[in-house]
Chain A
Amino acid sequence: MPEIRVTPLGAGQDVGRSCILVSIAGKNVMLDCGMHMGFNDDRRFPDFSYITRNGRLTDFLDCVIISHFHLDHCGALPYFSEMVGYDGPIYMTHPTQAICPILLEDYRKIAVDKKGEANFFTSQMIKDCMKKVVAVHLHQTVQVDDELEIKAYYAGHVLGAAMFQIKVGSESVVYTGDYNMTPDRHLGAAWIDKCRPNLLITESTYATTIRDSKRCRERDFLKKVHEAVERGGKVLIPVFALGRAQELCILLETFWERMNLKAPIYFSTGLTEKANHYYKLFITWTNQKIRKTFVQRNMFEFKHIKAFDRAFADNPGPMVVFATPGMLHAGQSLQIFRKWAGNEKNMVIMPGYCVQGTVGHKILSGQRKLEMEGRQVLEVKMQVEYMSFSAHADAKGIMQLVGQAEPESVLLVHGEAKKMEFLKQKIEQEFRVNCYMPANGETVTLPTSPSIPVGISLGLLKREMAQGLLPDVKKPRLLHGTLIMKDSNFRLVSSEQALKELGLAEHQLRFTCRVHLHDPRKEQEMAVRVYSHLKSVLKDHCVQHLPDGSVTVESILIQAAAHSEDPGTKVLLVSWTYQDEELGSYLTSLLKKGLPQASS
């Protein structure tokens, strides 16, 4: 029985460490290879030993697919390919291929240089790993081998994020990665065609949330920044370097442009400049507005946003500064925050979620006095605002995508178990498809019924066509032919041709049946009666009375004989070839009912 098996090594009823194994028609594919933010021990990477105890990964896995550059989707890649050992192809989109190594390098630096970890992957390993990457374009069908093919669809979320369709023969699986169904300032919405996969593996971060319109949030954000700048205050926006940061930059940049504002906007340097460079390059991956206007002006070539220098923080007058990291727990953003916190004209806007224990979380929950290192107490007089900008599909968006792709079953990953439960129930209810939500290490097995293509010879088809009316979708039609299975392909040919091809002689197969009828008359008379009866019933068949006393209907032969024991009973011998099975069995049942009483 053919089946699809799915085992999440990470992201099963969990967020982070995305890594899903899929076996489809004998091919093994690994989807994403991420790390977990919450752990610093072995648990941060997926347990690759699950895949194969002993033996090389390369032999077992046909390919690895990375959906986008976030570390929880690609963070374990160098470890997996260089330290565990995998030499097969790794597929990702061009922007992911470009940006991924920057983030991996950054991650490595923090782990090794700051935390001093040993036994971590090195820069060289990142480089070697990236050499195994094969980049794909959107909607490009890539043949991994003779049977396995993959295809990328646009997913929104971050630059270069993609959903992947994995297809072997007629069986297919779609993996969404992270996606966003509502467009934002720099990316479009995810889109997939009606590909009707056997299984759709979707993220479910916001399984229980339906979000408000994006416009309100944007408007609020702009209004707050604008007001603060107008009264001469300084605005601090702590962000992570990639993704949302670019969206907010574009938002502010266009707003500045529209409103003719003059206050400077700064972006703390580092990663970002390199990343911005890639954003400029991959214009085709952005939204309609940016794609349409880049000929006049590339939106990522910011006119108003300049690189930040530490000294600028003390400059008088209004300004807006984007600084990393996003949770105000260390680095430049915290330094600036400490400088500006004392002035009530200033403002800090937190554009995302903050983990407990960080300064960001403290000020968001209303704390006004912060203890800094060295027993220093910092009084926060500046305004603190919270804005949620997130690029995952909400419950409605997930349902929309399921509706678009029309899968046979759905599998949820990348979300919390409790929330998944709700969505699972909804999906089963609305679409009447099976929905699964395996935990890490748990395997889901889906039986599939792949369709098998059969070639039909043109001659046979035409002969059949000539016989009857045009094919009708609603009514099935009977077709006689011979199925030849040869070299794992199937052909339907006419029986004569089959015999010729296989060099076999034709055998006649006849069914015979005796029908006992009470009739005292002579056999001859009997035959005549049968003849006249059949003639009246089967109007469109050729019924003949042969001189030897037998009756034929097409190829069916009927002979009447007297019963050896009971002369009052006559035996009708009906014989037909198997081709005329339908007519033959009809005739026997007709004759069994008896002949009509003679009217002659």
Chain B
Amino acid sequence: MCLHFSKLLYLLSLLHGMHQQQEEIATKKLRLTKPSKSAALHIDLCKATSPADALQYLLQFARKPVEAESVEGVVRILLEHYYKENDPSVRLKIASLLGLLSKTAGFSPDCIMDDAINILQNEKSHQVLAQLLDTLLAIGTKLPENQAIQIRLVDVACKHLTDTSHGVRNKCLQLLGNLGSLEKSVTKDGEGLAVRDVQKIIGDYFSDQDPRVRTAAIKAMLQLHERGLKLHQAIYNQACKLLSDDYEQVRSAAVQLIWVVSQLYPESIVPIPSSNEEIRLVDDAFGKICHMVSDGSWVVRVQAAKLLGSMEQVSSHFLEQTLDKKLMSDLRRKRTAHERAKELYSSGEFSSGRKWGDDAPKEEIDTGAVNLIESGACGAFVHGLEDEMYEVRIAAVEALCMLAQSSPSFAEKCLDFLVDMFNDEIEEVRLQSIHTMRKISNNITLREDQLDTVLAVLEDSSRDIREALHELLCCTNVSTKEGIHLALVELLKNLTKYPTDRDSIWKCLKFLGSRHPTLVLPLVPELLSTHPFFDTAEPDMDDPAYIAVLVLIFNAAKTCPTMPALFSDHTFRHYAYLRDSLSHLVPALRLPGRKLVSSAVSPSIAPHEDPSHQFLQQSLERVYSLQHLDPQGTQELLEFTIRDLQRLGELQSELAGVADFSATYLRCQLLLIKALQEKLWNVAAPLYLKQSDLASAAAKQIMEETYKMEFMYSGVENKQVVIIHHMRLQAKALQLIVTARTTRGVDPLFGMCEKFLQEVDFFQRCFIADLPHLQDSFVDKLLDLMPRLMTSKPVEVVKILQTMLRQSTFLHLPLPEQIHKASATIIEPAGESDNPLRFTSGLVVALDVDATLEHVQDPQSTVKVQVLYPDGQAQMIHPKPADFRNPGPGRHRLITQVYLSHTAWTEPCQVEVRLLLAYNSNSRIPKSPWIEGGEVSPQVETSIEGTIPFSKSVKVYIMPKPARR
């Protein structure tokens, strides 16, 4: 302390230089009770001889974080230097630092506000002014509660709005947008200040001469909206004028503003200029945004196309206009190709397209009635989908998807256009439109000619496209039996061309069959090539194409009891075989003359759902209530319940997550109880050295299980995390006790105890809000005794812990709403091959890995591939983010290549490939805002990284050959 004080004196004397004043030193001294980084800054700033030097020091200073306690001191020093500084660039940096500092957590910046406003008034440089306003913005956002400050800041902003520099005006508007409020008028009357209508002030700057300021004004308005202020309807007209601005960023922001207003006042009526008619505001806005889809700038086009998707209140005839583009040729009305296709279809003839002038124009058009540049929504999507930039096309497809989901009639109409997009030149667009089609598929039925176009894409060489299309076919409705036949034929063609698609195609046919049993029925004889009189040759059972046909038929037969009558003998045999080998694709059928055990089970699954859930609840409750029984009984009950839960999870897929989760928790508890039952606790330590194995193993296993619980399940809430962490804490306590028992000497215990106490402390800090729920628990008691523990010796600590661990009650684990266990299945490599993969040792061989992941959050960063070589060497591979696809909610697909290499082997051997889930306990802890590119401040050692294997491992036969010389 003494040292600090003298240093401080030295500093301050430096700071004040020539005009040293004793009293000022005295006052300063009190303020800087904790000299820290500010001290260094002082010396540096005073040493600085030139502005460039000072700037360097400030930059260096900014790299390190500042603790909340010393922020104020630093701010004072900076301000003082600010007054003296002549160079605007240094002042600018100081101003920006002030803003950064005021964001520090735990620091209340109201004390520096006065100074900031003061220096603002005397500042001449526009850049510094802008930066100071930014600082004020930071201060203002930090204190959202303080009305008076907000009002003051808004006043300051209004004063500087007339500045000549666009930067300053920008910042003022930003400030107004972030801090201005409407409710002010109520509170202000008493103070006698002029009531400011923030919206009016911002609105005035819509016509500023600088486009950047106009943009900022619109953004500020949007910011007001985001903060929950209701914008006036009058803004709509102002915003409409901005749509024809010369600058794209203004137009882009204006489109957004119009969208916002249209969502606020969808039903109010606006007049149509140059006519007496009136329309709903949302329709008018829709028309205007549609018009922007053919804007000159693609940024605006993307923006407009995106926003169209979310305007669901628009009237249906406006919506349908977006797909309408009246064609004409030489002033005569022409039908679109879509219309022609539809007509041909309805007339029963398939499109010939053979005649020239097939599309010959029909009736004459009244020249007056043709409107070439509609203000309305005409053809907006037609233009958007044909746009030059694929960004616009994707946005248009997305918008189409959203609108179609909310309007079935629109879905029907946009189908033709979506189908057309399947032929886009950019794969992303094709993929997106296929996905879109899948999303709206319950609203639509495909016509045969449309199906034809859709199916043509099956030959695409991109695997993603084909699989997306299979997914689409899974949920499409087909209208005719020819359609089904066509789909089957095309899928079989696909199968021969790309044999790797086998699984995906089978799955697709499964759904196709179960959705259209009546359409499949008339096709059965043809598909099975049966003949009423003659026996035909039995097809090859291993032919994937034949299996595909059977999958279609069997799934259709499930709801069509007359179908099995058409089967021939070998079909039944094949059914039995497939039902066994591909049970996920072939459903249980009630076949005549065959008893099926499973047939009784399948229809009764649905009504069972509730009881099984009840069963789960009951068994869990039983466990939680029976905790006071004698240990033997508790153990048995736990064992039985765990067994029950596991079985339940296997039977009921929708309850698997909950059941597994609870079972894991119970297992932890069981292990803990067992460990505490150990005899070693009763006997003097040195005698039972060996038996302690069991207890320490239990502690280890509990730790592992808790990590699994925390990171392998999606949908785990904070409630559960507390319990899990609590369990882990208990495991750590157990570990500590066991170590204390088995090690001689006290020295190593010191470290361990301290660490454990740190963990407790950390637990308390992290879950302070949840502590009330943990009454009577281990940690509750522990925290009561914390002061005592802090001062006691390790031996005592261990003793206390031991008794507490024994006394602690069993915490009830509340079940989350939705919980799913992360799982992964490796599809490829299949691990069946007997042919080793041969390669020259020292070189690499690429192994294709294809796996599906379920319920994995953020797989790009967590999923790893592990390869285990027979010599125990393990290799971890991080797949690229692009290797993950997301075919549906909660599902991911990993298609990647793994490179294997090894030194030469004498004979082929198997390597194991499996998937790991990496976790990092740090991810749950919020980061402090100050750290921007700086080093992370040393955390408590709780950031544990590790991996959990979550897929079955697959064995791959490889053979690195020695290189030939």
Partners in one complex: yes
| Interface: B356 (CB within 8 A) | yes
Contact B207 A215 (CB under 8 A): no
Is there an interface contact between A189 and B388, defined as CB atoms closer than 8 Å? yes
Question: Chain A: which residue is nearest B461 at the CB level?
Answer: A260
Report which of A208, A211, A400 forms a contact with B331, defined as CB distance below 8 A: A208
Bound Cα distance from A419 to B328, whole angstroms: 12
Which residues of B lie under 8 Å from residue A182 when comparing CB positions? 386
Minimum C-beta distance from A325 to chain B (A): 18
Chain A residues whose CB sits within 8 angstroms of the CB of B326 once the complex forms:
210
Listed residue (B246, B372, B388, B417) with the most chain A CB atoms within 10 angstroms of its CB: B372
Assess the A383–B354 pair: CB atoms within 8 A: yes
Contact in complex: A223, B425 (CB < 8 Å):
no
Residues of A within 8 A of B (CB): 182-183, 185, 188-189, 191-194, 208-220, 222-224, 226, 254, 257-260, 287-289, 350, 364-366, 383-386, 395-396, 399-400, 403-404, 419, 422, 425-426, 430, 470, 473
Residues of chain B within 8 A of A400, CB atoms compared:
294, 373
Contact A218 B423 (CB under 8 A): yes
Q: A260-B461, A430-B373 are in contact. Are A473 and B207 (CB under 8 A)?
A: yes
**A260→B497 contact, CB < 8 A:** yes
Contact in complex: A209, B330 (CB < 8 Å): yes
SS class, residues of chain B in contact with chain A: loop
Decide if B201 is an interface residue (CB 8 Å cutoff). Answer: no
Binds A, one of B182-190, B222-230, B452-460, B875-883: B452-460
Query: Are B337 and A210 in contact, CB atoms less than 8 angstroms apart?
Result: no
A213-B385, A422-B331 given; name 10 further pairs at CB < 8 Å. A183-B387, A213-B417, A215-B385, A223-B453, A259-B459, A260-B459, A287-B388, A386-B358, A399-B372, A426-B372
Indicate if the CB atoms of B327 and A188 lie closer than 8 Å.
no
Known A-B contacts A210-B325, A220-B353; the reply to A185 vs B370 at CB < 8 A is no
B328 touches A209 (CB 8 A): yes
B352 → A minimal CB distance (Å): 9
Is B354 in contact with A385, judged by CB distance below 8 angstroms?
yes
A214 with B327: in contact, given A260-B459, A260-B461, A383-B354 (CB under 8 Å)?
A: no
A211 touching B462 in the complex, CB below 8 Å, given contacts A216-B337, A217-B337, A220-B353: no
- Is the CB of B390 closer than 8 A to any CB of chain A? yes
Known: A220-B337, A470-B162. A213 touches B386 (CB 8 A): yes
Given contacts A260-B461, A399-B373, contact A288 B354 (CB under 8 A): no
Chain A nearest Cβ from B35, distance in angstroms: 49
Interface 0/1 of B677-691, CB less than 8 Å to A: 000000000000000
The closest CB in chain A to the CB of B325 belongs to A210
CB-CB under 8 A from B421, the residues of chain A are 215
In the complex, are the beta carbons of B425 and A216 less than 8 A apart?
no
Residues of A within 8 A of B209 (CB): 473
What are 19 contact pairs spanning A and B, CB under 8 A? A183-B387, A185-B425, A208-B331, A209-B329, A210-B325, A212-B334, A213-B325, A213-B417, A215-B385, A217-B337, A219-B420, A288-B388, A383-B354, A395-B328, A396-B372, A396-B373, A396-B379, A399-B372, A473-B207
For A363, give the chain B residue with the smallest CB separation: B356
In B272-323, the 8 Å CB interface with A consists of: 294, 296
The CA-CA distance from A176 to B460 in the complex, in Å, is 39
B743 at the interface (CB under 8 A from A): no
Report the Cα distance A182→B379, complex, angstroms.
14
Q: B456 contacts A223, CB within 8 Å?
A: yes
Q: How far is the CA of A426 from the CA of B390 in the complex (A)?
A: 31
CA distance A213 to B336 in the complex (A): 8
**Cα separation A157 to B685 with both chains bound (whole Å):** 92
Residues of chain B lying within 8 A (CB to CB) of residue A395: 328, 372
Q: What are the 3 tightest A-B residue pairs by CB atom distance, in nearest-first order? A: A216-B337, A183-B388, A215-B420
Min CB–CB distance B342 → chain A (angstroms): 12
B594 at the interface (CB under 8 A from A): no
Decide: B336 and A216 in contact? CB cutoff 8 A.
yes
From the candidates A192, A214, A383, name the one contacting B386 in the complex (CB within 8 A): A214
Asked if A366 and B355 sit within 8 Å, CB to CB, the answer is yes
Expressed in whole angstroms, the Cα–Cα distance for A188 and B390 within the complex equals 11
Q: Given A213-B420, A218-B423, are A403 and B460 neighbors across the interface (CB < 8 Å)?
A: no
Residue B232 at the chain A interface, CB threshold 8 Å: no
Q: Shortest Cβ distance from A458 into chain B, in angstroms?
A: 14
B389 within 8 A of A: yes
Interface residues of B in 361-411 (CB under 8 A from A): 367, 370, 372-373, 379, 382, 385-390
Question: Are B373 and A289 in contact, with the CB atoms below 8 A?
Answer: no
Kindly list chain A residues whose C-beta atoms are within 8 Å of the C-beta of B59. Answer: none
Q: Are B354 and A194 in contact (CB under 8 A)?
A: no
B426 on the A face (CB < 8 A): yes
Partner of B423, one of A222, A289, A403: A222
Choice from A208, A222, A258, A365 contacting B461 with Cβ under 8 Å: A258
Chain B hits for A217, CB < 8 A: 337
Nearest Cβ in chain A — how far from B871, in angstroms?
40
Q: Is the CB of A425 within 8 A of B367?
A: yes
